[in-house]
A and B are shown apart, each in its own frame.
Chain A
Amino acid sequence: DSGVTQTPKHLITATGQRVTLRCSPRSGDLSVYWYQQSLDQGLQFLIQYYNGEERAKGNILERFSAQQFPDLHSELNLSSLELGDSALYFCASILTVRPFSYNEQFFGPGTRLTVL
């Protein structure tokens, strides 16, 4: 158990819909990363937040947005869903007492999104 929680574990929805994925980082971790992993694919970095502020953006679609709240939990909002959005979505948290790239990332169990 990494200490990172993600809800829901599974999500099945239809094309055109909007969903929200939730992530709670490890206690004390200030930074959250979001990743998308399509079937048997690698990890695609989406976005990073640090202490409530967006710090880096990867290949995140305009239909996707995220935020980190004062209690440090984060939500990833996916709208106008398409079949191709079906994937595993992971969040990871880090402590950040060192420069970002030197921190090991603790991954949550992921949310499996299926768009029908």
Chain B
Amino acid sequence: GQQVMQIPQYQHVQEGEDFTTYCNSSTTLSNIQWYKQRPGGHPVFLIQLVKSGEVKKQKRLTFQFGEAKKNSSLHITATQTTDVGTYFCAPGGTGGFKTIFGAGTRLFVKA
């Protein structure tokens, strides 16, 4: 089945520093979604990437889908305390119904 490796598992940053989390698959993905879960909250959809090499931006967040559609990244510029939480990638396989989430990267931001 679909497996992804998400790194790092944890990241501590000082407010204002940048942050990047990576999601890597051994197989080609049809699409990939990113979710954010605030502490004590539920996962919330951020974005979906479908095309090879796609780059999407949401304010300080930049999402990339690799050319080979096997990896993706989420980059946050100048982190703020509101960015605290766990970021999950959720790859879409080819034709499968299942949703596999990456293990998540937990972001801690120190003010």
Interface positions of A (Cβ within 8 A of B): 2, 33, 35, 40-43, 45, 48, 55-56, 58, 90, 92, 99-102, 104-110
Measured between beta carbons, the chain B residues less than 8 angstroms from A110 are: 42
Nearest CB on A from B96, distance (A): 7
In the bound assembly, the distance between CA atoms of A40 and B105 in angstroms comes to 11
Task: Give B29-49 as 1s and 0s: 1 = Cβ < 8 Å from A's Cβ atoms.
Answer: 011010100000111110010
In the bound assembly, the distance between CA atoms of A48 and B96 in angstroms comes to 12
Q: Which of B35, B48, B88, B98 contacts A58 (CB 8 A)?
A: B98
Nearest CB on A from B10, distance (A): 10
In the bound assembly, the distance between CA atoms of A103 and B28 in angstroms comes to 18
Whether, in the assembled complex, B68 has its beta carbon less than 8 Å from a beta carbon of chain A, the answer is no
- Contact indicator B43/A90 (Cβ below 8 Å): yes
- Contact indicator B99/A101 (Cβ below 8 Å): yes
Q: Which of B35, B88, B93, B103 contacts A101 (CB 8 A)?
A: B93
Whether, in the assembled complex, B102 has its beta carbon less than 8 Å from a beta carbon of chain A, the answer is yes
- Least CB separation from A35: chain B residue: B101
- Contact indicator B98/A105 (Cβ below 8 Å): no
Known pairs A43-B88, A104-B33, A104-B48; A109 contacts B98 (CB<8 A)? no
- Contact indicator B98/A56 (Cβ below 8 Å): yes
Known pairs A107-B42, A110-B42; A43 contacts B92 (CB<8 A)? no
